[in-house]
Amino acid sequence: MSYTKATPYPRLTERPAWQALAKHYRQVHDLHLWRLFSDDPQRGERLTAEGAGLYLDYSKNRVTDETIKLLLQLAGECGLAGRIDAMFSGQKINTSEERAVLHVALRASASERIEVDGVNVVPEVHAVLAHMATFSDSVRSKSWLGHTGRAIRNVINIGIGGSDLGPVMAYEALRHYSRRDMTFRFISNVDGTDFAEATRDLDPEETLFIICSKTFATLETLTNAHSARAWCLRKLKDERAVQRHFVAVSTNAEGVEEFGIDTANTFGFWDWDGGRYSMESAIGLSTMLAIGAENFYAMLSGFHAMDTHFRSTPFDRNLPVLMGLLAVWNNDFLGANTVAVLPYEHYLKRFPAYLQQLAMESNGKHVTLEGAQAEVPTGPIYWGEPGTNGQHSFYQLIHQGTALVPCDFIGFCQSLNPMGRHHDLLLANLFAQTEALAFGKTKEQIAAEGTPSWLVPHRVCEGNRPTNTILAERLTPGTLGQLVALYEHSVFTQGAIWNIDSFDQWGVELGKVLAQRIIPELESADEPKLGHDSSTNALIRRYRRLRKEP
Ligand code: F6P
C-alpha cells in the first residue's frame, strides 16, 4: 500500500504519538474547562482556526496545547499528508473495492487535471455539469414540456441513501434560493406511504421524476421508480410519456435504458464517486433544478475552497484536520463514542441526517485497511437536531447525563429571514449552550442562590462537556459546499488515523441479501417452509397471519 506513507509502525496503539497521548490523557483527564480558560485568558481566541469562509472555535474541547501537539504528531505518524495526496491524485484508496475516491474532482475547476488510470476525469465532470445546466434551464424556463404539453411544476427525486440524503438536505438547506413556483419532493422509503404522500396532490402531467441510483439496482429505488411509472401511465396512458416525465442519474446506463428512460436524459457519474459523497455530482440534479445552475456552481466553488484549504493549509490551522483529530481524541481517549450536530439554522434541519450517512457509513468499520481487527473504537455515532428545538428535548442528557456527548454547534451571523429579535435570540441560545456545557454551575454557586441543600445536587451542572462552534457569515450555496466539504474531510482525517477504509460499506449488504430471501416467503400464496431462527420464523408467520391483502 504505497500511498499510506506512514512510519512503519504496524499498530496504531504502538505509535509513539498514540502512546504519548495515552500517557498525556492520564495527566489531563480531570482538567476542567473552567481551569483551562481561567489559566489562559486568550484561549477562546487562540484555539480557533479560520479558512474557506468558516470559523472554527475548538477552545471548548478538553485539550491543552500539548494535546494538540501530540494529535498533530499522530497525524504525521499516520501519514495523513500522504493519504490526502493519494486521494487528490486519484490513487485507489478505497482498497476493498479497488477504487479511487475522487469526490474532489466533482468540484475541481475546468483547468485542473485529475487522473484515474491515466485518464483526466475533469473534462467529463464538466461535460455532465453542462448537460445538467442545459436540462435544468429548459425545465425552469418551461421549454421542457410534459407529454401533454404542460410545463413541469413538480420534481420528485427517487433515490435512497446517498442518492436521497444529499439531495433532500441540499434542497432544504437552500430552499431560500429555490424556485417557489415549483414543488420539490423526495421519495426514498420502500414503505408505500412515502410514495403515496409525495404524489397524492400532484398531477402526473406536470410532474418530472428523477430516478437517482448509482447502481440502478437498489430495491427501494427501483420499486418506487416502477410505482412512479405506473402512477404516470395511469393518467397519461402512453408509454412514450416516460421519456418526458422520467430522467435518470446513474452509472448503469443499461439498467436505465431497460427501464425506458431516454439515454439523452441520463446523467452519468463514476465508480470513483461514492454515494454518500455525491450530492454535488449529477445526483444533485434536483438541487440544480431548485436553485438554478449559477447557484449550483457557487455551491461547487464552496466545496472547492474547502478542498484547497484541506490540501494546502498546515495541519495546525487546517479546519477539517483539527476537527478530525479532536473527534479521535474525544472518541478514543475521552470515551465519547458519539457526536451531536446542532445547527442553529432551521434550513439545516436535514444536515444531521445527511451527516449520519457520511460519517457512519464511512467510519463504521471494524477492521483496518490490512483486514486486522481495529484496536480502538472507530466511527462515533452522529445525530442531531436544529437548535433551539433540541434544547427543549435531549439537551438535558448532554448537560447532566452520565454519557459524554461532544457537540458541534453551527451558526450563521446573518439570518436569511431577518425578523425582529429572532436571530439575536437564536444566536444567544447557541452561545449560551456552549458556555453552559463548558462551565456548568457548581454546587457552591447554586447554594449561594439560597437553594435548599436537598435540591442542590439536582441542579448541579458539572460542565466540562466538549463542543466545537462553527460560525459563518450567512447560509449561501457556497457556505453549504464549504460546510459539507469540512465534514467530508474531517471524516477522512478520522479514517486515516484509524487506518480504515472510509469508502466501502460492506456491512449494509448482509441485510439486503437476507431481505431477498424473505421477500418470497412473504409473497408466496402457499405457506412457505421457513428455515430461519425461531424468532424470525415466528415473526414471518405472524405477519402472514395478520396482514391484510390489498
Ligand atoms: O445500501 C447502501 C448504499 O449502497 C449507499 O451507500 C448508497 O448511497 C445507497 O445504498 C443507494 O445506492 P444507489 O445509489 O446505488 O441506489
Q: Is the CB of 276 under 6 A from ligand 1?
A: yes
Stretch 30-47: mean pLDDT: 98
CA of 282 to the centre of ligand 1 (A): 15
> Of the candidates 413, 436, 421, 431, which has an alpha carbon nearest to the alpha carbon of residue 345?
413
DSSP state of 474: -
* Contacts of residue 492, Cβ cutoff 8 Å, sequence gap at least 6: 83, 84, 87, 320, 324, 362, 502
For the Cβ of 160 lying below 6 angstroms from any atom of ligand 1, the answer is: yes
Closest C-alpha among 472, 405, 486, 465 to residue 60? 465
Per annotation, catalytic residue among 392, 458, 529, 548:
392
pLDDT above 70 (res 8): no
Q: What is the pLDDT of residue 468?
A: 98
What is the pLDDT at residue 550?
56
Looking at the CA of residue 165, tell me the nearest atom of ligand 1. Answer: 8
**Is 213 a pocket residue for ligand 1 (Cβ < 6 Å)?**
yes
Q: Relative to the CA of 212, which ligand 1 atom is closest?
A: 14
- Nearest atom within ligand 1 for CA of residue 250: 14
Query: Ligand 1: which residue has its CA nearest to atom 9?
Result: 161
Q: What is the CA radius of gyration of the chain?
A: 25
Q: Is 163 in the pocket of ligand 1 (CB under 6 A)?
A: yes
Torsion (CA) 491, 494, 496, 498 in degrees, nearest 10: -130
pLDDT at 9 > cutoff 80: no
Neighbours of 314 (CB within 10 A): 8
Ligand 1: centre distance to CA 162 (Å): 6
**284 and 166 Cβ atoms separated by less than 8 Å:** yes
Of 433, 493, 500, 487, the residue nearest 463 (C-alpha): 433
Which pLDDT band holds residue 174 (cuts at 50, 70, 90)?
A: very high
**pLDDT over 60 at 4, yes or no:** no
C-alpha cell at 409: 454547534
d(CA 550, CA 531): 27
Q: Is the CB of 215 under 6 A from ligand 1?
A: yes
Helix (H, G, I), strand (E, B) or coil at 383: strand
How far the first Cα of the chain sits from its last, in Å, is: 55
- pLDDT-derived band at 404, boundaries 50, 70, 90: very high
Active site residue 392: yes
Whether 361 is catalytic is: yes
Gap from CA of 44 to ligand 1 centroid (Å): 41
Q: What is the pLDDT of residues 441-478, one digit of tens each?
A: 999 999 999 999 999 999 999 999 999 999 999 999 99
State the Cα–Cα distance between residues 380 and 368, nearest whole angstrom. 16
Closest ligand 1 atom to residue 512 Cα is 1
Checking 22-26 for CB contacts under 8 A at 24+ apart, the result is 22/333, 24/66, 24/67, 24/70, 25/333, 25/334
275 Cβ below 6 A of ligand 1: yes
Q: How far apart are CA 241 and CA 205, in angstroms?
A: 9
> Do you find a cis peptide bond into 218, omega within 30 degrees of 0?
no
**DSSP string across 276-339:** GG-TTSGGGHHHHHHH-HHHHHHHHHHHHHHHHHHHHS-GGG-HHHHHHHHHHIIIIIS---EE
Is the CB–ligand 1 distance for residue 166 below 6 Å? no
Q: What is the pLDDT of residues 206-235, one digit of tens each?
A: 999 999 999 999 999 999 999 999 999 999
Q: Is the pLDDT of residue 2 over 60?
A: no
Share of the chain above pLDDT 70, in %: 98
176 catalytic? Reply is no
* DSSP per-residue codes, 159-220: --GGGTHHHHHHHHHTGGGS-TTSEEEEE--SSHHHHHHHHTT--GGGEEEEEE-SSS--HH
* β-bridge partners, 469: 57, 409
Of residues 361, 385, 488, 521, which has the active-site annotation? Answer: 361
> What does the pLDDT look like over 237-284, one tens digit per residue?
999 999 999 999 999 999 999 999 998 999 998 999 999 999 999 999
* Beta strand spans in 296-449 (E): 338-343, 381-383, 407-412
89: exposed, middle or buried (C-beta count within 10 Å: 0-12, 13-18, 19+)? middle
pLDDT of residue 7: 53
Do you know the residue count of the chain?
550
| Mean pLDDT of the 169-197 span | 98
Give the separation between CA 140 and CA 59, rounded to whole angstroms: 46
Region 423-448: mean pLDDT is 98
Would you say 348 and 410 are in contact if contact means Cβ atoms under 8 Å apart? yes
The C-alpha cell that represents 226 in the structure block = 416502477
- Band the pLDDT of 548: cuts 50, 70, 90: confident
Inform me whether the pLDDT recorded for 5 exceeds 60.
no
Cα–Cα distance measured from residue 71 to residue 272, given in angstroms and rounded to the nearest whole number: 30
Is pLDDT above 90 for 6?
no
505 close to ligand 1 (CB < 6 Angstrom): yes
pLDDT tens digits for 274-307?
Answer: 999 999 999 999 999 999 999 999 999 999 999 9
Tell me the whole-structure pTM to 2 decimals. Answer: 0.96
Distance, in Å, from the CA atom of 283 to the CA atom of 212, rounded to the nearest integer, reads 6
CA of 539 to the centre of ligand 1 (A): 27
Q: 203 vs 93, 151, 155, 190, CA distance in Å? A: 46, 11, 11, 21
